[in-house]
A and B are shown apart, each in its own frame.
Chain A
């Protein structure tokens, strides 16, 4: 295992990954954001305000819950769940969205924009905008708007304008293109709240920092509960913010860490979003990373039952952590995720988001062969209410 370097470097590189691949128009805004972030991450007043919102508004710390019945069911390692599903708005996305909204306000911006796939980040950004008093516009593909009509209504209730994206595949990546176009046009008064550890520097760094509270809490909580560190951490990886959020505080410890990508209908079908299993190095939407692309460098359409994992590229820091063999990456298929969705619902009375169900699926695979005194922490990144309708549809049940 390689030594962990303090990355990114000053240009946003994680070794060969990351960087800034954007239109020149955005460069001053990225530099302004980088400087503002550097300043405010050490600003006592900003941190006090953020801490207080994390506690009283988001509901942190979220609990680290011992899943007793799931553990009994698996007859192996003890399984703990980091309950990000209990955050206000129902997923870890709010950790980053609130912090960025607060930062935007401090920077004197009057408007924020964001992209959303499943709608969780859109809801979180709209919530942040309402909380600090900023105008908000959310870009969402028409295909996703159809699948997530409830979240569209939630965002509108929160005062956000939801703009439909009708170009390309009409999903998350197209929403990001459109948000970047908006930002390029309105860069002077607008902050772009990117929802994951992706895009141009400083986003991968900043979003990681805002999400790393997950692992900081989990580390203290497991030491308190068990008197020792876990043997294995598991989290799903779309862009990669909940996983880096959990893993980051444990990077200098010695344990297995597994990131789970969306295996969709299986790698051989081509209908998946497993960038490490089926992708290659590319440059997409602001950074250099693994990318699902064809031989001519065009970006492939992806598939996953979970909209939040359905993305053609992955956060650049994940590529670095994979290279140095600090984190293993594998995938769960739609079918495995759907099974895990039901197992957790039945054994623990917790309906997980389909994204998080991919992480649960891996726990179902690895826990049984581990000793009973070993410990797994799974990041339960979001709750599954938003997915209930889609799961019913897949099962052919009319609601």
Chain B
């Protein structure tokens, strides 16, 4: 069983939900990122999503777009992030998931990327512009190396898509709570509950909800419908404003 699956299993036993904060690696610098990871762990994060900066982040809203731009200005690349993870593995064992657009991985080389990611201690990857239909080799190589591939589902997903994404996903499934981009406003209506129920019925693996969760109330509600929640833009905004993130993440943790 992968580390990520292990965490979900343990939490389920304890009747708890996973808290997965997202931060952009290298925003505002990789030194800061190291401190943030340790702070997030202390605040109760169960695993951490690390963004890889890209010039054209088409699934991201303005808050995270600016984080991509800040990290790129620091010269942060996928290569540097992998080296960074190798370093931080001396200090923490918390599961780390890279969230990267496909082209940096494609350019790096799929097999080379997966081998190196596993070697340095990355636990899984989310690629928002890669659908299972285009990921045959990617999934096969990831399986060979025991690397978790986390694919996404959305409110528009049909039953056929749910089946396809479920089969392709290892670790958990990322449910995008809204039709939209990161940081958009969350709509808490019955449709989310209904879609999540049908996903859980078909998928039979953990589902974490992300996009648009910005406060403890929303976190609590989303967590009640899923196995975990992902909080990104709200944390990235605090970082951009130079504010402390620990208190906020603690409050979210207590709410779920």
- Do A and B come together as binding partners? yes
Interface string of B70-104 (1 = CB under 8 A from A): 00100001110000000000000000000000111
Q: Does A28 count as interface, using CB distance less than 8 angstroms? A: yes
Q: Are B156 and A20 in contact (CB under 8 A)?
A: no
Q: Are A298 and B55 in contact (CB under 8 A)?
A: yes
CB distance from B87 to the nearest CB of A (A): 19
Q: Are A297 and B179 in contact (CB under 8 A)?
A: no
| Interface members, chain A 10-46 (any B CB < 8 Å) | 11, 19-29
- Nearest residue in B to A13 (C-beta to C-beta)? B134
Q: Does A51 count as interface, using CB distance less than 8 angstroms? A: no
A297-B56 CB under 8 A given contacts A23-B128, A29-B156, A284-B103 = no
Q: Are A291 and B103 in contact (CB under 8 A)?
A: yes
Q: Are A297 and B106 in contact (CB under 8 A)?
A: yes
Q: Pick the contact of A24 from B56, B65, B78, B165 — CB < 8 Å?
A: B165
Q: Does B58 count as interface, using CB distance less than 8 angstroms? A: yes
A28-B157 CB under 8 A given contacts A21-B102, A177-B58, A298-B55 = yes
Contacts of B55 in A (CB 8 A): 168, 298-299
A20-B133 CB under 8 A given contacts A25-B176, A296-B77 = yes
| Interface members, chain B 31-62 (any A CB < 8 Å) | 54-59, 61-62
Q: Pick the contact of A25 from B77, B107, B156 — CB < 8 Å?
A: B156
Q: Does A181 count as interface, using CB distance less than 8 angstroms? A: yes
A interface, over-half SS: mixed
Interface string of A280-296 (1 = CB under 8 A from B): 01111110000101011
Q: Are B152 and A24 in contact (CB under 8 A)?
A: yes
A298-B72 CB under 8 A given contacts A20-B133, A21-B130 = yes
Q: Are A21 and B134 in contact (CB under 8 A)?
A: yes
Q: Are A296 and B59 in contact (CB under 8 A)?
A: no
Q: Does A369 count as interface, using CB distance less than 8 angstroms? A: no
Q: Are A22 and B131 in contact (CB under 8 A)?
A: yes
| Interface members, chain A 131-189 (any B CB < 8 Å) | 167-168, 173-174, 177, 180-181, 184-188
Q: How far is the CA of A25 from the CA of B156 in the complex (A)?
A: 6
Q: How far is the CA of A180 from the CA of B165 in the complex (A)?
A: 21
Q: How far is the CA of A282 from the CA of B158 in the complex (A)?
A: 29
Q: How far is the CA of A282 from the CA of B59 in the complex (A)?
A: 18
Q: Are B179 and A19 in contact (CB under 8 A)?
A: no
Contacts of B77 in A (CB 8 A): 296, 298
Q: Are A185 and B184 in contact (CB under 8 A)?
A: yes
CB distance from A172 to the nearest CB of B (A): 12
Contacts of A297 in B (CB 8 A): 54, 78, 103-108
Contacts of A181 in B (CB 8 A): 58-59, 61, 180-181
| Interface members, chain B 150-167 (any A CB < 8 Å) | 151-158, 161, 165
CB distance from B74 to the nearest CB of A (A): 13
Q: Are B157 and A298 in contact (CB under 8 A)?
A: no
Q: Are A283 and B61 in contact (CB under 8 A)?
A: no
A282-B106 CB under 8 A given contacts A24-B152, A185-B179, A188-B179 = yes
Q: A27-B161, A297-B103 are in contact. List 11 more A-B contacts (CB 8 A).
A: A19-B134, A20-B134, A21-B102, A23-B129, A24-B154, A25-B156, A25-B179, A177-B58, A184-B181, A187-B156, A299-B55
A-B contact pairs, 23 of them (CB 8 A): A11-B133, A20-B134, A23-B176, A24-B151, A24-B176, A27-B156, A28-B156, A177-B57, A180-B58, A184-B179, A184-B180, A185-B180, A188-B179, A281-B106, A283-B102, A283-B103, A293-B103, A293-B107, A296-B77, A296-B104, A296-B107, A297-B105, A297-B107
Interface residues in chain B, defined as those with a beta carbon under 8 Å from any beta carbon in chain A: 54-59, 61-62, 65, 69, 72, 77-79, 102-108, 128-131, 133-134, 151-158, 161, 165, 176, 178-181, 184
